[in-house]
């Protein structure tokens, strides 16, 4: 059920995980708690907190590209690929405890009820509680999209020839 008013919020990321929805669509999830509503010039502290999930979809090349862009905007370099985001891996890149701005909208569920949906400007999201992490999704995404692999000789830029050096 919707608890939060629609609008912009500062939210704390509490958990990250790989999972899939009831239809089997895979995603990288961020469990968040809205802390402050940003309305005009006001900062309105939120009661609660009610955990929500931001879904970063990984079910198509376009969605993976959008997810990578968003994660890089949050500070992820891409090194280690999706496996490097897996909380089951030692030394994983953690978004936990970061405060981010998210927009809350209300969406009607299949059950006819209205739910909060927190999302980054170009991503959809929603949900009530975060599922358990599925480590295999990160590994499969790395294999499918070759994210985080070391550059090969072919991938590296060639050194400039002497004629191209200005001194």
In a domain, residue 113? The reply is yes
- Residue 127 pLDDT > 90, yes or no? no
Residue with tokens 């995603």: 27
Distance of alpha carbon 143 from its chain centroid, rounded? Answer: 19
- Residue 79 pLDDT > 60, yes or no? yes
In a domain, residue 69? The reply is yes
Given this model, what pLDDT does residue 165 score?
56
In a domain, residue 2? The reply is no
In a domain, residue 12? The reply is yes
pTM for the structure as a whole:
0.71
Given this model, what pLDDT does residue 47 score?
81
Cβ(1)–Cβ(31) under 8 Å?
no
Vertex 132: Cα angle to 93 and 119 (nearest 5): 65
Strand, coil or helix: 73:
helix
Q: How far is residue 14's CA from residue 94's CA, in Å, rounded to a whole number?
A: 10
The listed range with the strongest mean pLDDT (11-25, 43-57, 151-165) is 11-25
In a domain, residue 127? The reply is yes
In a domain, residue 166? The reply is no
Domain with 45 in it:
7-77+86-148
In a domain, residue 158? The reply is no
Given this model, what pLDDT does residue 21 score?
93
- Residue 166 pLDDT > 70, yes or no? no
- Residue 71 pLDDT > 90, yes or no? yes
The tally of domains found in the chain comes to 1
Stretch 128-152: mean pLDDT, rounded?
A: 78
pLDDT tens string 23-43: 999 999 999 999 999 999 899
In a domain, residue 162? The reply is no
Cβ-Cβ contacts under 8 Å for 4 (sequence gap 6 or more): 34, 37, 46, 50, 104, 116
């Amino acid at each position: 059920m919707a608890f939060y008013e629609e609008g912009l919020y500062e939210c704390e990321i509490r958990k990250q995980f790989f999972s899939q929805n009831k239809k089997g669509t895979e995603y990288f999830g961020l469990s968040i708690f809205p802390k402050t509503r940003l309305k005009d010039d006001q900062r309105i502290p939120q009661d609660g907190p009610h955990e929500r999930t931001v879904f970063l979809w990984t079910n198509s090349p376009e969605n993976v590209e959008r997810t990578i862009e968003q994660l890089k905007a949050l500070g992820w370099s891409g090194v280690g690929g999706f496996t490097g985001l897996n909380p089951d891996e030692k030394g994983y890149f953690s978004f936990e405890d970061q405060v981010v701005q998210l927009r809350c909208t209300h969406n009607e569920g299949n059950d006819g009820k209205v739910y909060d949906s927190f999302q980054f400007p170009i991503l959809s999201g929603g949900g009530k509680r975060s599922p358990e992490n599925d480590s295999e999704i990160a590994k499969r995404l790395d294999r499918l999209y070759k994210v985080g692999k070391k550059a090969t000789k072919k991938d590296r830029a060639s050194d400039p020839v002497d004629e191209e050096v200005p001194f």
